């Protein structure tokens, strides 16, 4: 496996243990995003990797965990679809900076849902699109 820059110092043990597998998958899939629940998220691209610490939320702010992961994935897919719709080439993948911004917005989407009694927060809006 190629050595990719990875901000390992900040990463949780779970992220570090998942990294080799995600790194291996980038041989076949250009970008691997692994949700780590309350431990954040790991993104591994073909040239680099990044651990995203979790967004801050107080335990007393959590109303329900139902739908939080689904909202993360939905926000990811909506952003990727938007990127590809505006791309000039169907195989054009977002830049590393764009992926970072997208993943932060995915985490915000999850937080909004955690703070809601609904499975999909009514506070999820177009502001989460890159």
Q: What is the pLDDT of residue 47?
A: 85
Local confidence pLDDT in tens for the 130 residues of the chain: 456 667 677 899 999 999 999 999 999 998 899 999 999 999 998 888 999 998 889 999 999 999 999 999 999 999 988 888 777 666 667 778 888 899 999 999 999 999 999 999 999 999 999 8
| Predicted pLDDT of residue 91 | 66
Rounded to whole angstroms, the Cα distance separating 25 from 12 reads: 20
Q: Give the orientation angle of helix 68-86 with respect to helix 96-114, to 10 degrees.
A: 150
Q: Do residues 113 and 105 touch, judged by C-beta distance below 8 A?
A: no
pLDDT at 1: 47
Task: Give me the pLDDT at residue 90, please.
Answer: 61
Given this model, what pLDDT does residue 85 score? 77
User: Tell me, what's the pLDDT at 88?
Assistant: 66
Cβ atoms of 30 and 50 closer than 8 Å:
no
Which pLDDT score, from 0 to 100, does residue 109 have?
Answer: 96
């Amino acid at each position: 496996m190629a050595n990719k820059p990875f901000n390992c110092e900040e990463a949780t043990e779970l992220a570090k243990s998942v990294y080799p597998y995600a790194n291996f998958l980038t041989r076949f899939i250009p970008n691997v995003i692994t949700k780590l629940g309350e431990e954040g998220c790991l993104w591994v691209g073909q040239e680099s990797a990044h651990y995203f610490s979790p967004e801050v939320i107080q335990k007393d702010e959590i109303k329900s965990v139902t739908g939080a992961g689904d909202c993360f994935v939905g926000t990811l897919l909506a952003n990727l679809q938007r990127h590809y719709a505006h791309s000039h080439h169907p195989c054009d993948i977002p830049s590393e900076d764009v992926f970072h911004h997208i993943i932060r917005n995915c985490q915000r989407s999850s937080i909004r849902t955690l703070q809601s009694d609904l499975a999909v927060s009514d506070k999820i809006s177009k502001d989460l699109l890159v």
